[in-house]
Amino acid sequence: MLGHLLRPEIEEIIRSGDLRSLRFALEDLSPAELADALEDLPPERSAIIFRVLPRPTAAAVFEFLPHWAQEEILRALGDVETAQILNAMSPDDRTRLLEELPAEATKRLLEMLSTDQLQIAQRLLGYPEDSVGRRMTPNYVAVQQHWNVGQVLAYARKHASHSETLGVLYVIDPAGKLVDDVRIADVLMAEDSRPVDSLLDHTFVSLKATDDQEAAVAAFLRSDRREALPVTDSENVLVGIVTSDDIMDVAEEEATEDIHKMGGSEALDEPYLQIAFRRMVKKRAGWLVILFLGEMLTATAMAHFEEEIAKAVVLALFVPLIISSGGNSGSQAATLVIRAMAIGEVRIADWWRVMRREIASGLALGTILGSIGFLRVTVWSAFSSIYGPHWFFIALTVGVSLIGVVLWGTLSGSMLPFVLRRLGFDPATSSAPFVATLVDVTGLVIYFSIAAFILQGKLL
C-alpha cells in the first residue's frame, strides 16, 4: 500500500540521477514495501534501484517480487548483479524463480551460482514439479539428540543467521534421522544442563520431500507448528524445512487453479493482468471449444424433436428455462463437492453418502422450482390465452420436467467429480460450464420425452 504512495517520489529521485538521495529514500522501507514500489516501475528503473541497494537487501526485495517482475529485472541487470542476487536469495524462493523460467534461462542462471549454492539449487530442482522438495529450504537449525540445553542454545546462537526461522529447532540422531522438533520456547525455559532429549514429546508432523505440495497445506493445518514443517527423505533423514509463507502461497495457488478450472478455463498460472494476451486466449479457448462441441449435441437433439416443436411451438418457449435450471443446479452441486474434496472434507469413499444427500437435495430443489414453473404457466394462463386450451398440461409438463432435470443436474454434478478423481483426473475439471453442457443435452431429452408422454393426443 505504502509502496504505491511512494512511487512518484522515488521516480523523481531516479530521474534526477541523485544516487545518494535514492539510497537515503530507500533506507526506511521494508523489503516488502520496496518490492511493492518496484513492481510497477519499468524494469530499467528497478534495475537502477537494485544497483544502489545493499546486497542482502537487494536479494530480500527481489524475493518479494512476483516471477514476471523478477524475470524482467534480471533481463535488465548485468551478469555481476544477477549473480550477486541469485547467490544471496533464499534457496526456496530461488527454486520458484528457476522453475518458472525456460530451460535455457535456468541453465544460464545456474552457471552464475557459487559451487555451494549450485549444489543446493540442483538438489532442490531435482525433486518433481509441485512436490514438497521444490518448496524446501536447507536453512534450518538441527541439533543432536544427545546434547544438553546449553549446547543446543550455543549451537542455535551460532547458526541463527543461516536459519530461515528459529521458533522451532529440529532434533536429529547421529545418522541425521529426524527424532522430533522442539519449540525454542521450551529450550529457553529449561536449565542449561538438562538433556534436550528430555524436552521432547515425540509427536511431530513431518513431510516427505516427494509428497505433493498440497499435502503440506493439509499437514500445516493439522500441526501446531506455526513457522515451518520439517521435510525428510524416504529414509526419514531430515533434508529441509518448508516455511509457512510458502505453504500459504501453495494454498492460494491451488485455490486459484481450482477456481479457474471450475469457471471453465485452463488455470492461467499467471496474474490476469500480466499474462500475454495470446497465451490467455489459448488457455480460455480450449475449454470453450470443447464445451461448444459438446453443446452442438443440443442442436442435434433439438433437430430430433423438430416435428414436435413445429406442432407445438409453445414447447420451444420453455427450452432455455428448463435446461438452464438443470445447468444451474448441476454447477451448484459440482462446486460444493469439488471444494469439499479439495479441502479434504469429502473422500472418494464418501460417494454413496454424497449421492444419497444429492438425490434428496435434487428432489427438494426440483420440487421448489417445478412448483414455481407450474404456477407461472397457470397464472399466466388465467390472464391470457398465450398457452392455449391445453395450458394445464403444458404447466404439468413444465413442472414435472423441472423436477426431473434438476434432480438429474444435481446428481450428475455431484457424481462427476468422483468419477473424474477415480479416473485419475483433477475433479476441479468438472467445471460449472462442463456440467451445465452435459445437463443441457440430457435435459432436452428429458423435457421432450415428458412432453411427448403428457401432451400425447392433445398438442402432439
> Where in 20-39 is the site for a copy of itself (CB under 8 A)?
28-33, 36
Give the integer Cα–Cα distance in Å for 406 and 63.
49
Site string for a copy of itself, 69-108 (x = CB under 8 A): ----------------------------------------
The verdict on 232 binding a copy of itself (CB under 8 A) reads no
Among 196, 450, 432, 232, which Cα is nearest to 336's?
Answer: 432
By CB under 8 A, the residues from 394 to 413 that bind a copy of itself are: 406
C-alpha cell belonging to residue 89: 536469495
Among 440, 372, 381, which Cα is nearest to 403's?
Answer: 372
The verdict on 310 binding a copy of itself (CB under 8 A) reads yes
The verdict on 284 binding a copy of itself (CB under 8 A) reads yes
By CB under 8 A, the residues from 345 to 364 that bind a copy of itself are: 345-346, 350, 353-354, 357, 360-361, 364
Q: Which residues contact 391 (CB under 8 A, 6 or more apart)?
A: 377, 378, 381
Q: Which of 48, 255, 355, 460 binds a copy of itself (CB under 8 A)?
A: 255
Give the integer Cα–Cα distance in Å for 93 and 111.
17
By CB under 8 A, the residues from 105 to 134 that bind a copy of itself are: none
By CB under 8 A, the residues from 317 to 346 that bind a copy of itself are: 317-321, 323-325, 327-329, 331-332, 334-340, 343, 345-346
Total residues contacting a copy of itself by CB under 8 A comes to: 128
Measured from the CB atom, is 117 or 325 closer to a copy of itself? 325
Strand, coil or helix: 229: strand
Longest dimension (CA), the chain: 97
DSSP string, 405-435: HHHHHHHHHHHHHHHHHHTTS-GGGS-HHHH
Among 307, 277, 327, which Cα is nearest to 430's?
Answer: 327
Q: Which of 184, 395, 403, 405 binds a copy of itself (CB under 8 A)?
A: 184
One-letter amino acid of 252 = E
Report, in Å, the least distance between residue 262 CB and a copy of itself: 7
The verdict on 251 binding a copy of itself (CB under 8 A) reads yes
Report, in Å, the least distance between residue 169 CB and a copy of itself: 11
The verdict on 265 binding a copy of itself (CB under 8 A) reads yes
Measured from the CB atom, is 109 or 247 closer to a copy of itself? 247
Beta carbons of 93 and 64 less than 8 angstroms apart? no
The verdict on 201 binding a copy of itself (CB under 8 A) reads yes
Beta carbons of 81 and 113 less than 8 angstroms apart? no
The verdict on 433 binding a copy of itself (CB under 8 A) reads yes
In this structure, the strands spanning 142-144 and 168-172 are: parallel
Q: What phi and psi values does residue 232 have, to the nearest 5 degrees?
A: -120, 165
Binding segment for a copy of itself (CB under 8 A), chosen from 69-77, 105-113, 119-127, 297-305, is: 297-305
Report, in Å, the least distance between residue 202 CB and a copy of itself: 7
C-alpha cell belonging to residue 31: 523489503
Measured from the CB atom, is 109 or 432 closer to a copy of itself? 432
